[in-house]
Amino acid sequence: MNRLSIELPGLSLKNPIMPASGCFGFGKEYARLYDLSKLGAIMIKATTLETRLGNPTPRVAETSSGMLNAIGLQNPGLEKVLAEELKWLEQYDVPIIANVAGTLTEDYVEVAKHISKSKNVHALELNISCPNVKCGGITFGTDPTVAAELTAAVKEVSEVPVYVKLSPNVTDIGEIARAVEAGGADGITMINTLIGMRLDTRTGKPVIANGTGGLSGPAVKPVALRMVYEVAKQVSIPIIGMGGVATVDDVIDFMSAGASAVAVGTANFVDPFVCPNIINQLPEKLDWLGLNHVSELVGRSHR
């Protein structure tokens, strides 16, 4: 029996661990370090219809136990992602969750229609929460009606289940979660980064060229955990939790709060082997907790 396997809409996961979108490129860099087939899934970098060159540099700034980024959805565009990146990933026995982004509803629909036909794409992750682009992204994720409409529009064309990635930059994340569930979402991924800033103390000017950036890393974990806990109480669709996950204990916490699987983001930059390390440590942690299967962790906090 595989003690770590998890079944989610569209996804048969060997284990509940996956790199988060934007922190793993399209896998090539990490494939030089370990076998990507070890991963539960891979959430690839956000894909837009057209090529995007992203924001000016500096794009990252370190903060206390965290970092800010404003990459700006740099990616080679749908056509190249399909023909090159996803094609290359086919050599690995790992389901892909394709992160879909855009400026207008039509962009999301167009990318979703094509990318969901790809052989190894088993689910979509709708990026309605990127804080670093002027149009699209977070503008879809902060209004429940708009978020639900976009979800419904993408559901209509997608050939695979649709997960919606929520922004923490809202007053009531539960309201958005319930709205996308009503819009037909098959699952929720959360959280994206928190909008933040760092100033150069000498000049008083922002360190990041974009001015603001998205805060990630261990610093955001308590916020992410609280939000997963809240949303788990309000929806019946599964949650893939993320936000500052760096250790196996963090994974246990997110699953206890109600996540069915967990994504690792910024920690990949600190320790490129963090995902396989956590996967290797999970069985021992289950023994320590006296549990047989990782799914027994899900929602422990609420019982």
Partner 1 sequence: MIRQERMRIVKHKEIAHHIFEMTLAGQLVHDMYSPGQFVHIRVSDSYEPLLRRPISIASINHKDSEFTMIYRAEGRGTTMLSQKQIGEELDVLGPLGNGFPIEEAAPGETVVLIGGGIGVPPLYELSKRLVDKGVKPIHVLGFQSKEAVFYEDFFRELGETHIVTVDGSHGQQGFVTTLLAELQPEFTSYFTCGPTGMLAAIQNMYHDRKGFLSFEERMGCGLGACFACVCKTTDQTEVDYVKVCSDGPVFPAGVVSV
List the binding residues for FMN: 21, 45-46, 99, 127, 165, 191, 217, 243-244, 265-266
Q: Taking CB under 8 A as the rule, does residue 199 contact partner 1?
A: no
Single residue of 10, 40, 66, 131 touching partner 1 by CB under 8 A: 66
Catalytic residue annotation: 130
Q: N- to C-terminal Cα distance for the chain? A: 25
CA distance 87 to 275: 23
Burial 38-50 (b: 16+ CB within 10 A, else e): bbbbbbbbbbbbe
Asked if residue 210 lies in contact with residue 70, where contact means CB atoms within 8 angstroms, the answer is yes
CA distance 214 to 225: 17
Single residue of 268, 276, 294, 297 touching partner 1 by CB under 8 A: 268
Single residue of 2, 7, 12, 29 touching partner 1 by CB under 8 A: 29
Give 86-137 as a DSSP string.
IHHHTTSS--EEEEE--SSHHHHHHHHHHHTTSTTEEEEEEE---TTSSSST
CA distance 72 to 168: 18
Q: Quick one: which segment of 52-60, 144-152, 223-231, 290-298 binds partner 1 (CB under 8 A)?
A: 52-60
Q: Quick one: which segment of 94-102, 114-122, 192-200, 264-272 binds partner 1 (CB under 8 A)?
A: 264-272
Single residue of 57, 91, 280, 292 touching partner 1 by CB under 8 A: 57
Q: Taking CB under 8 A as the rule, does residue 34 contact partner 1?
A: no
Interface residues with partner 1 (CB under 8 A) are 22-25, 28-30, 32-33, 51, 53-54, 57-62, 64-67, 69, 71, 74, 217-219, 246, 266, 268-273
